[in-house]
Amino acid sequence: MLLHVTHETRYAYTPAVNTAQHQTHLRPIDSAGQKLLSHELSVSPQPDQCVDSGDLYGNTRTYISLQKTHDELCITARSLVRTAAPRGSASDMSWEQVREFFRYRRGAPYDPAAEFRFASPYVPRHDDFAAYARESFGPGRPALDATQELMQRIHNDFSYETQSTEVGTPALESLHLRRGVCQDFAHVMIGCLRTMGLPARYVSGYLLTAPPPGQPRLVGSDASHAWASVFLPDAGWCDFDPTNRRAPGEDYVTLALGRDYSDVSPIRGVILGGADHTLSVAVTVEPA
């Protein structure tokens, strides 16, 4: 598919902000499954500095510096992406074999996926994750099948409620609440996989959504999305979307990859001033 993504973030400050430093992850990645054809980032007011750089996980992040007083900030990212239907994942390894593959051995070659087995700021290692995951990870079960069932269980057991959690809600709290949004579902799934010894990472992106039959498409009605990815040595990274109980396909756009949301938040920063603010976000994903 050829998809056009518009992601607009607007802050209104009271009182005005004197200076600000921001970091964004708003540029979709290039990968085997998608090609970034064009990307434009516009910032208002005009920033004093706007610099791109790569991060540890292959994402492009943009540093924005504003050294002038402003009571409003608008950051708009426009991207054109060509996606491809993912190849089917096939793996013969049991989840125990995957766990043993990544167990530390002196002198063993380094595998970059190994670091995704450890705790991260929003996803701690905890026995409660293992207790929930064990129902799917029976002895000798193929890792792919176990992960598929785990995704389905999270989808069935958790309620999607937009106001039930916040951006900073830890995965363990989401597990106990049994509700949240796509970010929470992804964090819970990652926590479960890691406690079983499997590398798992957080994927930030977008999903092409269709309006109900007979209704027009509403510009800005979409939202950024998130899902989880597990690494299997004989299959590579395999994506799972517990929010929608499916494997991401050509109607998904990958924005950034990390250990959890803290690595790839669309916008974060430090401001001087602006004690109160209001935030509005509008995302539109449409066929180009």
- Token pair for residue 134? 């064990």
pLDDT tens figures, 196-230: 999 999 999 999 877 767 777 766 667 899 999 99
Position 90 in a domain: no
Position 223 in a domain: yes
Residues 184 and 225 in one domain: yes
Residue numbers in the chain where pLDDT is lower than 70: 212, 218-221
Residues 259 and 270 in one domain: no
Residues 51 and 175 in one domain: no
The total of structural domains in the chain comes to 2
Q: How does DSSP assign 123-169, residue by residue?
A: B---HHHHHHHTTT--TT-BHHHHHHHHHHHHHHHSEE-TTS--TT-
Domain that includes residue 25, residue range: 2-84+265-287
Q: What is the pLDDT of residue 57?
A: 94
pLDDT tens figures, 119-161: 999 999 999 999 999 999 999 999 999 999 999 999 999 999 8
Residues 225 and 151 in one domain: yes
Residues 170 and 112 in one domain: yes
Residues 171 and 219 in one domain: yes
Position 105 in a domain: yes
Q: What is the pLDDT of residue 177?
A: 93
DSSP H or E segment with residue 190: helix 182-195
Residues 12 and 105 in one domain: no
Residues 257 and 122 in one domain: yes
Q: What is the pLDDT of residue 108?
A: 85
The CATH number covering residue 73 comes to: 2.60.40.2250
Residues 67 and 155 in one domain: no
- Token pair for residue 199? 């590398």
What whole-number distance in Å separates Cα of residue 281 and Cα of residue 253?
A: 18
What whole-number distance in Å separates Cα of residue 187 and Cα of residue 182?
A: 9
Position 155 in a domain: yes
Residues 108 and 52 in one domain: no
Residues 150 and 282 in one domain: no
Residues 146 and 236 in one domain: yes
Position 89 in a domain: no
